[in-house]
Amino acid sequence: MKIKAIIFDLDDTLLKTSKLYNQARKDFCRLIEEYGITRGNKEEILKKLDEIDIKNVLKYGFSRERYPISLGKTYEHFARKNGQKIDSEIRKEFEKIGWQVYQKVPEPAEEVYFVLDVLVQKYILILATLGDPIVQENKLKVTGLIKYFSKVYIMKYKSMEEYKNIIKEMGLNKEETWLVGNSVRSDLNPGLKLGLNCILIPYFAWKFEEEKPVSNNFLQLNSLREILNYL
């Protein structure tokens, strides 16, 4: 099979970004209990946080403001539910937890530099990521990953049309292009619909990303290193 280019996802494919969000979720639950806003039901708290955050994706997209706002709104929900007055200073403490996610550098995936060192010698590497441009560009610079990619696309929704535009702009053929990601909704399904060769490396995915594959015509691997056995 002729291969010309590989499109990589960033978060939770090359960088373990969800670990930062998981810590933020733990810190949020801890703080909400410390203030006595609600106790003993973390599942309910996190379910409501996901619900509010998904709604805010439609309103704010993947801007860096969205997550702190979602944490603040979740605090307000439980304060009202328990008959407590909304305190703007307390809300800021919850929002601060969200901002701290962007102040930390995600841990690289295992052997990411080794794998990219090998692949960049043979193929055109392209990055397609969701998120706030400033946040995503900073991750790439601080981790040194930016040097591997011929082009970086910071996308709005990761729709099939957006991937189609990448293929067109880069002058690629779908049959010679592979897409590698961890998300069924944002990586796998748009790629399958477009007719790209797809590799799924499952990792933690939040509620927004949960979706069933539109077909079984993809390769599922356990790690980045395994890519070298196939490409």
pLDDT digits (tens, 9 = 90+) for 169-217: 999 999 999 999 999 999 999 999 999 999 999 986 666 777 899 999 9
Given this model, what pLDDT does residue 205 score? 64
pLDDT digits (tens, 9 = 90+) for 6-56: 999 999 999 999 999 999 999 999 999 999 887 668 889 999 999 999 999
Last residue of a domain, one of 51, 83, 103: 103
Range of the structural domain that residue 45 is part of: 18-103
pTM: 0.92
The one-letter code for the residue type at 158 is K
Q: Are residues 90 and 47 in the same domain?
A: yes
The one-letter code for the residue type at 143 is T
Q: Are residues 91 and 177 in the same domain?
A: no
What is the arithmetic mean of pLDDT over 119-143? 96
| Domain count across the chain | 2
CATH of the domain at 134: 3.40.50.1000
Distance CA 109, CA 114 (A): 11
Query: At CA 208, angle to CA 203 and CA 210, rounded to 5?
Result: 55
Given this model, what pLDDT does residue 38 score? 77
Distance CA 195, CA 178 (A): 10
pLDDT digits (tens, 9 = 90+) for 101-112: 999 999 999 999
Q: Is 43 helix (H, G, I), strand (E, B) or coil?
A: helix
The one-letter code for the residue type at 169 is E
- Asked if 179 contacts 3 with a C-beta cutoff of 8 angstroms, the reply is no
pLDDT digits (tens, 9 = 90+) for 110-125: 999 999 999 999 999 9
Q: Is 198 helix (H, G, I), strand (E, B) or coil?
A: strand
Q: Are residues 27 and 75 in the same domain?
A: yes
Distance CA 114, CA 121 (A): 12
Of 211, 207, 216, the closest CA to residue 184 belongs to: 211
Q: Are residues 11 and 35 in the same domain?
A: no
pLDDT digits (tens, 9 = 90+) for 50-91: 999 999 998 998 899 999 999 999 999 999 998 899 999 999
Q: Is the dihedral of CA 171, 169, 212, 12 positive or negative?
A: positive
Contacts of 75 (CB under 8 A, 6+ apart): 32, 37, 90, 91, 94
Q: Are residues 122 and 195 in the same domain?
A: yes
